[in-house]
Amino acid sequence: MSEPAQPATPMVDWDLAVRLATRLAGDGPQVPRAEAAAVVTELREGADRSTGLVRDFTGLEAAAHTAPVLVVDRAGWAQANADAFAHVIGPLARNLAAKKPPGPLALKVGSRVTGTEVGGLLGFLAGKVLGQFDPFHAPDGRLLLVAPNIVAVERELDVDPHDFRLWVCLHEETHRVQFTAVPWMRDHLFSEVEALSATVDTGSLSDTVQRVTEGLRGGARGGSIVEVMATPEQRAIMDRVTGMMSLLEGHADVVMDGVGPTVIPSVEAIRARFTERRKGVGTLDRLLRRLLGLDAKMAQYRDGAAFVRGVVDRVGMEQFNAVWAAPDHLPSKTELADPDAWVTRVLG
């Protein structure tokens, strides 16, 4: 994957975004130093143990010593995602700058405005995300496990902490295996991001603002911010990305449910309580999830898992793994709801 150069003056004030996100997210639950160290050790061991469990269940073989595992706090997660966002929007920033370069003052003011907006988003998510695979970190990506959030949720759900930590590791390690065992996945994802950025032009910015405003007001095109700002061309790209991300998330959920009962005694209670938690806990939380597209994220887990189970039930895991052979083997958004159509197209 090529590493795009960053513009001299960024369109987002990333330092401001990280400072604001860190302040909004807070530190999380108070944990004695010795206990915190034990949690970090257990999460690292859980991720390492999960590699073999994922391999044995899926048949995916990840190369050794790739995509490091990092156990981070909320501030560390915010910084890691600011770095990833900066990488992802690099093509978009260059595209906009080439078409209509902003003046120095406009760029300075605009970068602080966008920095504030991104910081608010990161601050909201930094207190909720348990783990994440960052595919944009060179050279092979990295796995992030957010220790304070894992501890907070295991307490909130009142579940066995050791079981819960391994359960989280299973899901997130599956993502690490997906991207390291299927090396073209990172390049393909970034090519889709570049394709999306190429569809943005300065003439569409006012329309984009109008569509976002309509969404916030609950207009006819209401939905998440991501949905209301998409042009038809962008929607086609986003549909492809949705198919890919739903596959990855659903596959990880299937692995959790398939492996979990063999190594996690309380997995049924964890799954039931965690599924309820995914719905959001309050009115404001649900509103923010809707506007940020997190409701769609939950649908990805559900639809992707149904697709994986549908194919595996019909042809078995070995033939299902044809999905990892090439980008054109990935399911379309339509095929997610019709596993038989994917089987017919890819397996004949």
Each residue of 254-278: pLDDT tens digit? 999 999 999 999 999 999 998 887 6
Compute φ and ψ for 266, nearest 5 degrees: -100, 25
**Mean pLDDT for all residues in the chain:** 82
Tokens standing for residue 317: 């895991």
Please tell me which of 61-70, 157-166, 298-307 the model is most confident about, judged by mean pLDDT: 157-166
Look up residue 83 and give its DSSP letter. Answer: H
Q: Say what the pLDDT of residue 245 is.
A: 86
pLDDT band for position 97 (cuts 50, 70, 90) = low
**pLDDT tens, position by position, 276-304:** 876 655 544 544 455 445 555 566 678 88
Q: Are strands 69-72 and 131-134 parallel, antiparallel or unpaired?
A: unpaired
Q: Are 86 and 287 in contact (CB under 8 A)?
A: no
- Residue of 58, 325, 318 whose CA lies nearest to 183: 325
pLDDT band for position 49 (cuts 50, 70, 90) = very high
Q: Are strands 142-146 and 131-134 parallel, antiparallel or unpaired?
A: antiparallel
The count of other CB atoms within 10 Å of the CB of residue 209 is: 11
Secondary structure E strands in the chain? 69-72, 131-134, 142-146
Percent of the chain at pLDDT exceeding 90: 51
CA gap 280, 45 in Å, rounded: 30
Q: What is the mean pLDDT of residues 112-118?
A: 83
Between 339 and 209, residue with greater pLDDT? 339
CA gap 131, 190 in Å, rounded: 21
Question: Is it the case that residue 219 has pLDDT exceeding 50?
Answer: no
Question: Is it the case that residue 174 has pLDDT exceeding 90?
Answer: yes
CA gap 232, 242 in Å, rounded: 15
Q: Say what the pLDDT of residue 246 is.
A: 87
Q: Specify the 3-state DSSP secondary structure of 220.
A: coil
Q: Are strands 69-72 and 142-146 parallel, antiparallel or unpaired?
A: parallel
In DSSP notation, 256-292 reads: HHHHHHHH-TTHHHHHHHHHHHTT-SSHHHHHHHHHT
Kindly give, in sequence order, each residue whose CB lies less than 8 Å from that of residue 285, ignoring residues fewer than 6 positions away.
none
Report the b/e string of 158-182 with b at 16+ CB within 10 A.
ebbeebbbbbbbbbbbbbbbbbbbb
Q: Say what the pLDDT of residue 226 is.
A: 55
